[in-house]
A and B are shown apart, each in its own frame.
Chain A
């Protein structure tokens, strides 16, 4: 009985995903979780029937997507953590049972790739590259080499590669409308844009002696020259005769380096002396 109610609830959630407000969705999700509790499927156990597992998984997936739409990364991370054991118990591909269900249009697969892709993107925007690659390794082990070809998974993987290389223009292009695999991914565009902008700015500081204002606009993907001037001011650059000059941090840095180096040499030498004493 509880499972029928839950199915109906989930159908409602899925069909009206975009229209409900976050608080409304949350209320529905709480009800769904209570029903799951009645089914004893809130936390997975090896004995839980597969149908209940799938229901629980769908509930959490809806929760994860809703929290992304509401820009609540903490709630999203929590949902992802809750989803993980369900994904372990409901393996993708392989096995006779899964092969039969493949024909139903991936309904049985759930939104696994989408949620995982979003999670990867979240890790990327938070700069947690270690976790990003750990997650990637798990994907490679579970799904073979098709992760990159997937619509949802390939997106963050490509973004990461471009970010690491420094091809920021490709990242920028990928974030434009039409390139993003689905609307939830668009949420991260804003964060990513400011991220790459500051990356570009910090590399420009070192790479160019000066830059004309007009080309800086396109370099930093800014809308107008006014925005460029504003951005330049926030980073402490000086603007003169249509040229941006970067403050040279070179000289002060060098002196400090010198000091640091002699300090290091002293420390090392003292260390050797101490070690020698223990040996002799």
Chain B
């Protein structure tokens, strides 16, 4: 890296906004070298005279240069005392560039994630003008990625903003780079912008277009951005590209004709997503892989291509160490697929995990609500009655109200109430996508009704059962009760001649295998929790090399010692009681 050494600036002292200082050890040797430089604080920058022309032809990944730019932006920000929201936002955006740079330099995805996390706070303040200004200040008109910048400006509707504007109006333009550097930290740098920054700004553009509901433009721009990401093969882009695909498919969903129609644009983006998945798998790009699998699943489920979703799941392996949120989403969609396929036990397992993994903050409330609703229905379908406490959670209470009524009807086994609730809340259930599942509950209601009847009466005529459960005829009642007996819902016998059902004495639950099973389930859950906590521990990257080195040294010492013993320089006593200890 030729352009690296000269203009390395004191990074640590610059101070990153929001306390984003560096705590991780520099692991790459390259980075180490850079950190050494950080020591000499007031190092003057020796900029090669023909900097700008040389830089524009240089290859894009020039992190050190990128660093300087960021630092300058930081300094400029601190220089300005007035807190203009526009300037503040621009600076916030730019402060993320530093993180991205660091992510590239140290090859640590955590910095990119941190940058992505800040999007939500920037989002609220983002306007086309702010973004246009940020873009124009980041890119020089002569730089290689200027066309990216132009596309972004075009997408946000500010095509006339020129590139290469200076960070502040009060800044005088100095044609001599050296002087500028000496004065205020190399302000007039015309440098190559790393692709990560391109993509980051691209994501901001997507966010902006999405918030302003310009979906068509968003889709077109996303197509362009996805294309560009595909052409760049950089591991440091992984988490960013995952986000790009996310917005890409979000735009496609919003464009008419809306999803359930088979002509919706989401069908046409499937090849792109599948190609992205393939590439991500080949490149071991976990972030994109996880996010694209989730998007594809969502895509299939929106058009009710259940079997295709099932095939996708069976042919792909969801990355184990994917981000928690993606895992939660994946589990939700998987649970949904399984519920439709009548595999309730699996569905229940996946949905429980999804609700537990869902972030507890208010921003993901919608997800938890949706997942909980589905979970409740699946629990009912399995013949369980959901916990009363689920409905008491303050942030869920109103959303779950129809489901609460539904549970009550199923619990009591009242078919009339049940049908009434379905009719009353059909729209809600349809909107939640649980309607067809709820229709399947009818048999459960009947079964519960029969169970209640069997518990309350030692003997009851089929006619009474028929009347109480609102069944069509006595024959129906007879068949239904017989089926319930066979399925093990109740312990009873039927008398055909006299037309009644006779309940058997209920045995002691503790004599059955049920308590053992419940106990086993709990132990298994605890063990799984333990395993997962062990897996979730994070160890610093490459730390083991250090240990290996120590081990190597220890071995060498041992060898030396052995040698000395052999040579008779050392008695056994000198080794102390070590052997015992071992």
Q: Contact residues of A with B, CB < 8 Å? A: 88-89, 91, 94, 129-131, 133-134, 136-138, 140-142, 145, 161, 164-170, 199-200, 202-209, 211-212, 215, 219, 261, 264-265, 268, 272, 275, 279
**Interchain CB contact under 8 A, A169 and B479:** yes
Partner of B513, one of A138, A140, A208, A261: A261
**Interchain CB contact under 8 A, B471 and A134:** no
Q: For the complex, is B473 an interface residue (Cβ under 8 Å from A)?
A: yes
**Interchain CB contact under 8 A, B442 and A165:** yes
Cβ distance B233 to chain A, nearest Cβ, rounded Å: 31
| CB neighbours of A211 from chain B (8 A) | 496
Q: For the complex, is B168 an interface residue (Cβ under 8 Å from A)?
A: no
**Interchain CB contact under 8 A, B482 and A203:** yes
| CB neighbours of B475 from chain A (8 A) | 169
**Interchain CB contact under 8 A, B260 and A142:** yes
Beta-carbon contacts of B334-374 to A below 8 Å, as 1s and 0s?
A: 00000011110000000000000000000000000000000
**Interchain CB contact under 8 A, B304 and A272:** no
Partner of B342, one of A133, A167, A264, A272: A133
**Interchain CB contact under 8 A, B443 and A140:** no
| CB neighbours of B472 from chain A (8 A) | 167, 170
CA distance in complex: A200, B476 (Å) = 12
**Interchain CB contact under 8 A, B516 and A265:** yes
**Interchain CB contact under 8 A, A141 and B260:** yes
- Is chain B's interface secondary structure helix, strand, loop, or mixed overall? helix
**Interchain CB contact under 8 A, B476 and A167:** yes
**Contact flag A142-B262 (CB < 8 Å), given A136-B436, A169-B475, A212-B496:** yes
**Interchain CB contact under 8 A, B494 and A140:** no
| CB neighbours of A133 from chain B (8 A) | 340-342, 436, 440
**Interchain CB contact under 8 A, B436 and A140:** yes
Size class of the B contact interface (CB-based, 8 Å):
35 or more
CA distance in complex: A166, B449 (Å) = 14
Cβ distance A167 to chain B, nearest Cβ, rounded Å: 4
**Interchain CB contact under 8 A, A206 and B485:** yes
Q: For the complex, is B527 an interface residue (Cβ under 8 Å from A)?
A: yes
**Contact flag A207-B493 (CB < 8 Å), given A133-B342, A167-B480, A168-B479:** yes
**Interchain CB contact under 8 A, A203 and B483:** yes
**Contact flag A207-B497 (CB < 8 Å), given A165-B446, A169-B475:** no
Residue of B nearest to A87 (CB): B262
Q: Which B284-306 residues have a C-beta within 8 angstroms of A?
A: 303-306
CA distance in complex: A141, B340 (Å) = 13
Q: Which B434-488 residues have a C-beta within 8 angstroms of A?
A: 435-436, 439-440, 442-443, 446, 471-473, 475-476, 479-486
Residue of A nearest to B494 (CB): A207
**Interchain CB contact under 8 A, A137 and B304:** yes
Q: Give the number of residue pairs across the A-B interface with Cβ within 8 Å.
A: 118
Residue of B nearest to A165 (CB): B443
| CB neighbours of B307 from chain A (8 A) | 131, 134
Q: For the complex, is B54 an interface residue (Cβ under 8 Å from A)?
A: no
Q: For the complex, is B426 an interface residue (Cβ under 8 Å from A)?
A: yes
Cβ distance B298 to chain A, nearest Cβ, rounded Å: 14
| CB neighbours of A202 from chain B (8 A) | 486
**Interchain CB contact under 8 A, B497 and A212:** yes
Cβ distance B424 to chain A, nearest Cβ, rounded Å: 14
Residue of B nearest to A272 (CB): B523
**Interchain CB contact under 8 A, B496 and A145:** no
Cβ distance A89 to chain B, nearest Cβ, rounded Å: 8
Cβ distance B410 to chain A, nearest Cβ, rounded Å: 14
| CB neighbours of A91 from chain B (8 A) | 261-263
CB-defined A-B contacts under 8 Å, sample of 6 = A89-B262, A129-B342, A166-B484, A200-B479, A202-B486, A261-B513
Partner of B479, one of A89, A167, A268: A167
**Interchain CB contact under 8 A, A207 and B340:** no
Q: For the complex, is B530 an interface residue (Cβ under 8 Å from A)?
A: yes
Beta-carbon contacts of B485-515 to A below 8 Å, as 1s and 0s?
A: 1100000111111000000000000000100
Cβ distance A34 to chain B, nearest Cβ, rounded Å: 28
Beta-carbon contacts of B524-547 to A below 8 Å, as 1s and 0s?
A: 000100100000000000000000
CA distance in complex: A102, B473 (Å) = 40
CA distance in complex: A78, B496 (Å) = 46
**Contact flag A130-B342 (CB < 8 Å), given A167-B476, A167-B480, A275-B527:** yes
CA distance in complex: A262, B219 (Å) = 61
Cβ distance B303 to chain A, nearest Cβ, rounded Å: 7
**Interchain CB contact under 8 A, B263 and A140:** no
CA distance in complex: A272, B343 (Å) = 28
| CB neighbours of A166 from chain B (8 A) | 443, 476, 479-480, 482-484
Q: For the complex, is B430 an interface residue (Cβ under 8 Å from A)?
A: yes
**Interchain CB contact under 8 A, A207 and B481:** yes
CA distance in complex: A279, B533 (Å) = 12
Residue of B nearest to A216 (CB): B496
| CB neighbours of A137 from chain B (8 A) | 304, 306, 340, 436
Which has the most chain A C-beta neighbours within 10 Å: B472, B486, B493?
B486
| CB neighbours of B485 from chain A (8 A) | 203, 206-207
Query: A94-B257, A268-B516, A268-B523 are known contacts; what are 8 more A-B pairs with Cβ within 8 Å?
Result: A131-B307, A134-B341, A164-B442, A167-B479, A169-B475, A207-B494, A211-B496, A264-B513
Beta-carbon contacts of B255-298 to A below 8 Å, as 1s and 0s?
A: 00100111100000000000000000000000000000000000
**Contact flag A138-B341 (CB < 8 Å), given A166-B484, A202-B486, A204-B482:** no
User: Which 9 A-B residue pairs are closest in the complex by CB-CB distance?
Assistant: A166-B483, A134-B306, A141-B304, A203-B482, A130-B341, A203-B486, A207-B482, A138-B304, A166-B480
Q: For the complex, is B114 an interface residue (Cβ under 8 Å from A)?
A: no
Cβ distance B100 to chain A, nearest Cβ, rounded Å: 39
Q: For the complex, is B557 an interface residue (Cβ under 8 Å from A)?
A: no
| CB neighbours of B263 from chain A (8 A) | 91
CA distance in complex: A170, B484 (Å) = 17
Residue of A nearest to B483 (CB): A166
Q: For the complex, is B230 an interface residue (Cβ under 8 Å from A)?
A: no
